[in-house]
Amino acid sequence: MGSWRKGLSILKTWFTMVTFGYYPCTSLIRGFCRIGKTKKATRVMEILEESGAVPDVITYNVLISGYCKSGEIHNALKVLDRMSVAPDVVTYNTILRTLCDSGKLKQAMEVLDQQLQKECYPDVITYTILIEATCKESGVAQAMKLLDEMRTKGCKPDVVTYNVLINGICKEGRLDEAIKFLNYMPSYGCQPNVITHNIILRSMCSTGRWMDAEKLLSEMLRKGCSPSVVTFNILINFLCRKGLLGRAIDILEKMPKHGCTPNSLSYNPLLHGFCKEKKMDRAIEYLEIMVSRGCYPDIVTYNTLLTALCKDGKVDIAVEILNQLSSKGCSPVLITYNTVIDGLSKMGKTERAMQLLFEMRERGLKPDIITYSSLVGGLSREGKVEEAIKFFKDLEGSGIRPNAITYNSIMLGLCKARQTDRAIDFLVYMVSKGCKPTESTYTILIEGLAYEGFTKEALDLLNELCSRGVVKKSSAEQVVVRF
DNA sequence: ATAGGGTTAG
């Protein structure tokens, strides 16, 4: 028996016991919405309305929110139009949030107009939602106009409003302005919080301003603004990218002193850093440390380790780990399969890689162009260029659009098979399909020519492409060395 | 209603 049937039978009981009450119905609607059964929720609402009861605004809000969560904006708007009581600010905020999240700012502004006409006054949340979307779609300058509007209407911006704006300013690459804004906040009657600082900190790190980041962190501590796990993760991530793993570890180990427990986002960049330095033993050491502290590896941890294993030639171990992932409560994702498929393809085990392609499809994972490019590359490298081309054609037939990397792999295969003429035909085909050749495309073809003995032609072409700026001088030198 | 989401192909 389906759970909704059980729900409806409970509803009938309620109707006999509680005469036309709507409170139990709200719970029922909420329950159906939570499990995505919006149709059943709507049916409950209809029964309630038909019974002669007047549902209150909360019941309507629950249903509207359910529609929004299942992506049925159209139905949410339909309920808004037809509801038998006046919508409140929560109703509008729910709908505006969903419209903004799906990039429909224009429609959101129309709903705001409708809201104002009905004299339902927008609150700080309403404006913050719209300011955030405006930052993303039209830029901060436009969003500032909304800030002015909310102030003139007597609605006071709060820390979230300012955070949204500061984030927008940072994303527009104007970090110094964002810092000014942060410093002005107290004079607007609003204290910056940890999120404000994290936004600025992240921007400082991603623009390489490490000294400023360190200064801001100590300022936070001095002002009594406690850092969060995110604060530390921002710093760890930056240090690991710079290869400063020792300093990253220092920060990670200091986190508990500040009341923060490192999570997988704290450990993963460190593992990645060790793997990049080919220090697998240290990566494993930190894996063990994180587990011993109760922080379990997530799929990104596994993907990082699988990548390192494949690069290290230990692809069989990678396959073994992939097989065991599900039993460890961590389901492989597209990137997991791509990693192992690529590893197998590079080791000349394309057949096994193909098996994984079918396995991932069976699991409901949709291969992407990276999956296919790895397989095309594997077939080409194994000298099975005809098979590679057939696979390529099948892809095109099923609506997958190959990119430059896919084309380059085929061309490389053809050149290695001393069929540079066919590779050139393929270049023509690539261009006709609207795919722009890359520097690699040209160097593959030039090396193909040289390989077949047309050294002079290859050099001439190389010079020609160099003078046209299509191939960089440094790349050209590398090509000549390989002749 | 705001910040960290890291990991894959030539």
Residue A303 confidence (pLDDT): 96
A55 pLDDT band, cuts 50/70/90, is confident
Could you tell me how far CA A84 lies from the centroid of its own chain? 40
Q: Is residue A142's beta carbon less than 7 angstroms from any atom in nucleic acid strand B?
A: no
CA of A400 to C1' of B6 (A): 28
Which residue approaches B5 most closely, CA to C1'?
A: A265
A5 pLDDT band, cuts 50/70/90, is low
CA of A264 to C1' of B8 (A): 19
Cβ(A338)–Cβ(A306) below 8 Å: no
| Percent of chain A residues past pLDDT 90, beyond the cut | 81
Q: What is the mean pLDDT of residues A221-227?
A: 93
Residue A22 confidence (pLDDT): 53
Q: What is the mean pLDDT of residues A401-417?
A: 96
Q: Is residue A62's beta carbon less than 7 angstroms from any atom in nucleic acid strand B?
A: no
Q: Please give the Cα distance from A66 to A85 (Å, whole number).
A: 18
Which residue approaches B1 most closely, CA to C1'?
A: A125
Nucleotide lying nearest to A128, CA to C1' measure? B1
Nucleotide lying nearest to A373, CA to C1' measure? B9
Residue A13 confidence (pLDDT): 52
Lowest-confidence region among A9-13, A40-44, A94-98, A116-120: A9-13
pLDDT at A6 over 70: no
What is the identity of the amino acid at A411? Answer: M
Helix axes of A57-69 and A23-34: crossing angle, nearest 10 degrees: 10
Q: What is the mean pLDDT of residues A296-301?
A: 94
Nucleotide lying nearest to A97, CA to C1' measure? B1
pLDDT at A128 over 60: yes
Q: Please give the Cα distance from A379 to A388 (Å, whole number).
A: 5
pLDDT tens track for A336-395: 999 999 999 999 999 999 999 999 999 999 999 999 999 999 999 999 999 999 999 999
**Tokens for A417?**
């098979």
Q: Is residue A471's beta carbon less than 7 angstroms from any atom in nucleic acid strand B?
A: no
Which residue approaches B3 most closely, CA to C1'?
A: A195
Which residue approaches B9 most closely, CA to C1'?
A: A370
pLDDT tens track for A188-197: 999 999 999 9
Residue A165 confidence (pLDDT): 97
Q: Is residue A370's beta carbon less than 7 angstroms from any atom in nucleic acid strand B?
A: yes
CA of A179 to C1' of B1 (A): 22
What is the identity of the amino acid at A397? Answer: G
A38 pLDDT band, cuts 50/70/90, is confident
Q: Please give the Cα distance from A23 to A85 (Å, whole number).
A: 15
Residue A442 confidence (pLDDT): 95
**Tokens for A207?**
């623009």
Protein footprint on strand B: which nucleotides are under 7 Å from a CB? 1-10
What torsion do the CA atoms of A262, A264, A269, A275 make, to the nearest 10 degrees? 120
pLDDT tens track for A77-96: 999 999 989 999 999 999 99
A103: Cβ–Cβ under 8 A, 6 or more apart, which residues? A137
| Percent of chain A residues past pLDDT 70, beyond the cut | 95
Nucleotide lying nearest to A197, CA to C1' measure? B3
Q: Please give the Cα distance from A399 to A414 (Å, whole number).
A: 24
> Could you say which residues 208-267 of protein chain A have a Cβ atom less than 7 A away from any atom in strand B?
228-231, 233-234, 237, 263-265
pLDDT at A11 over 90: no
pLDDT at A20 over 70: no
CA of A448 to C1' of B2 (A): 54
Q: How many CB atoms lie within 10 A of CB A321?
A: 18
Cβ(A303)–Cβ(A335) below 8 Å: yes
> Could you say which residues 306-365 of protein chain A have a Cβ atom less than 7 A away from any atom in strand B?
307, 333-336, 338-339, 342, 346
Q: Is residue A195's beta carbon less than 7 angstroms from any atom in nucleic acid strand B?
A: yes
Q: What is the mean pLDDT of residues A121-127?
A: 95
Which residue approaches B2 most closely, CA to C1'?
A: A160
